Amino acid sequence: MDARRIADLTVFPIGLGCMPLSDRHMVPERPRALATVHAALDSGVTLLDTADIYAPGAAHVGHNEVLVAEALRAWGGSSQDRDRVVVATKGGITRVAGPDGDVWGRAGTPEALGRAARASAARLGVDAIDLYFLHRLDPAVPYDEQVGGLAQVRDDGIAARIGLSNVTLAQLDRALALVGGPEEGGICAVQNEWSPRYRRDADVLVRCTERGIAFLPWSPLGGANQAGDVGSRYAAFAEVAAAHAGTAQQVALAWLLGLSPLVIPIPGSTRPATARASAAAAALELTAEEQARLTATEPLGESVFPDDQPAPPM
């Protein structure tokens, strides 16, 4: 599988979603977490996805960004190899401790985005973040101001490139009208949910393909609770996997890659073996008939993290 592009960057077709390495329900011991990132990098992965709110709890906001930075420092790859690694992070969501658990909110003003981006850059140990996303929209802030704040993060040199996450087609089109697409140094990537389970943003994927915008599906295997059940829930994926001596999960990632040359799935992993297996899916070539058959399967679930659900937003 050929490498894929995010604006001027070239990356491996499959990235690593690092959130599970800091999730309180599954966070592994530090050595295994670092080994998981290293296994992905050793397998050719060059895109690591994180966010400021990926942490075991509100008291540890930034946990995942610090982990990613540590993993890169400790990795045995050459300095040239490390220079090829792209780290994407996100801001615009707040997480504070409350009497009954963490309280989630939004902070989409230009000032808040600037503060969040600077804090992320410091935790990652970089002068400029490779790719910075507006994580989720703040309903209390005019959308144009949020996009303007994202562009200001780029203009201030805090991030080299910008993107949007969890957006509709109308929101993407408005942002493109405001700041342009990749050719103008504007929106160069969109990170929305897409998997065998959830496929409601086909129009966003089409627009991204038209405009040369990278599309990064989050929870590409249907979320941590369902990733292991892809084959049992969707028989076609298991049947195609058997024909290729692979797994249903690898077929799902290969299917996503076949939707558009701009798609870069970011499956999560908490073990080196699963990180290696996900990366290996980039070499799995589906036939046109198999691709069409998998696309025709019916999604069997709602969003992993709906926007109105009080849970960690991807």
Which single residue is written with the structure tokens 């040369």? 212
Residue 90's DSSP bridge partners are: 133
| 132 given a catalytic annotation | no
Q: Could you tell me the sign of the dihedral formed by the alpha carbons of 137, 143, 145, 147, in that order? A: positive
Q: Catalytic: which of 54, 132, 143, 234?
A: 54
Question: CA–CA separation, 45 vs 16, rounded Å?
Answer: 7
Instruction: Tell me which residue of 12, 14, 28 sits closest to 252, measured CA to CA.
Output: 14
Total residue count of the chain as it appears in this document: 314
| Tokens, residue 271 | 């073990």
Question: CA–CA separation, 122 vs 58, rounded Å?
Answer: 18
Q: Which helix (H) or strand (E) holds 103?
A: strand 101-106
Rg for the chain (alpha carbons), in Å?
18
Give the residue numbers annotated as catalytic, written as ranges.
Answer: 54
